[in-house]
């Protein structure tokens, strides 16, 4: 076993061009997280929470600074290699479930396995994850036939299908009512604990954030640990 942190973000900056202007969203953000860590990321709307998650999840390259995941710099890779790295290393859950409406629950959970995986244990893993999130009886249903909470459960199963080391959630319960949000949060925390992952969750909810071991505020483009 090596005890090095799974995630090391250093001196991260991200600047967007807005017409003539440049907007500096991240201004030297730093964040370190080890296996087992669960971190709530908070901050006002527009403070750069999603941008941070996108950089950590290799969806967006930083302007300057580094993101190291298990000691590797994904942005040093070529585009196809980054895509493969992301697919095997990062699971995303967004506020909006982003399920494909024409596919069944089972097929949606399997989507991340289609591009790169040849292993045929994916089906078993998808069924067992969907069972774990309480949807064993819904495998053949379409997303349109599910409730909001059920759709987020499918999104969680899909995020975990490739056993990612990083689980990144952007306001995962933002569209759910209180009790449903609580049960989705329960699931996220349980599955994270079983998976030896790093869990980063962006949330506006102090109630949800209170359940996480660590709390980071985005302030002036930097991460401030509470």
Ligand X SMILES: Nc1ncnc2c1ncn2[C@@H]1O[C@H](COP(=O)(O)OP(=O)(O)O)[C@@H](O)[C@H]1O
Q: Which residues bind Mg ion (CB under 5 A)?
A: 49-50
**51 near ligand X, judged by CB under 6 A:** yes
**For residues 95 and 162, which CB has a smaller minimum distance to Mg ion in the complex?**
95
**For residues 50 and 104, which CB has a smaller minimum distance to Mg ion in the complex?**
50
**For residues 49 and 86, which CB has a smaller minimum distance to Mg ion in the complex?**
49
How many other CB atoms sit within 10 Å of the CB of residue 65? 18
**For residues 46 and 71, which CB has a smaller minimum distance to ligand X in the complex?**
46
**89 near ligand X, judged by CB under 6 A:** no
Distance between first and last Cα of the chain: 29
Distances (CA, A) of 1 to 4, 56, 137: 9, 23, 38
User: Least distance to ligand X from the beta carbon of 175, Å?
Assistant: 15
User: Least distance to Mg ion from the beta carbon of 206, Å?
Assistant: 17
| Residue 45 interaction partner, one of Mg ion, ligand X, none, beta carbon < 5-8 Å per kind | ligand X
| Residue 108 interaction partner, one of Mg ion, ligand X, none, beta carbon < 5-8 Å per kind | none
Residue 41 β-bridge partners: 202, 216
Distances (CA, A) of 219 to 52, 75, 80, 197, 225: 12, 25, 33, 26, 10
**95 near ligand X, judged by CB under 6 A:** no
CB 29 within 8 A of CB 40: no
SS3 letters for 202-224? ECCCHHHHCCCCEEEEEECCEEE
Using CB under 6 A as the criterion, which residues of the chain lie in contact with ligand X when the complex forms?
16, 18, 23, 25, 43, 45-51
């Amino acid at each position: 076993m090596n005890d090095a942190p799974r995630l090391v973000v250093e001196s991260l900056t991200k600047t967007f061009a807005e017409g003539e202007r440049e907007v500096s969203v991240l201004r030297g953000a730093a964040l370190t997280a080890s296996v087992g860590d669960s971190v709530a990321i908070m901050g006002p709307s527009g403070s750069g929470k999603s941008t941070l998650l996108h950089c950590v999840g290799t969806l967006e390259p930083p302007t300057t600074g580094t993101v190291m995941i298990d000691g590797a710099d994904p942005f040093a890779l070529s585009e196809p290699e980054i895509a493969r790295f992301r697919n095997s290393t990062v699971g995303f859950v967004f506020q909006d479930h982003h399920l494909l409406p024409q596919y069944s629950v089972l097929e949606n959970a399997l989507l991340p396995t289609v591009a790169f995986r040849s292993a045929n244990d994916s089906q078993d893993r998808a069924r067992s994850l969907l069972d774990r999130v309480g949807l064993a009886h819904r495998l053949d249903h379409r997303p349109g036939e599910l409730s909001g909470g059920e759709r987020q459960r499918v999104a969680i199963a899909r995020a975990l299908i490739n056993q990612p080391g990083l689980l990144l959630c952007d306001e995962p319960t933002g569209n759910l009512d209180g009790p449903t949000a609580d049960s989705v949060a329960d699931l996220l925390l349980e599955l994270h604990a079983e998976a030896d992952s790093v869990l980063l969750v962006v949330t506006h909810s102090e109630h949800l954030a209170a359940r996480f071991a660590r709390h980071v505020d985005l302030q002036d483009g930097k991460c401030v640990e509470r």
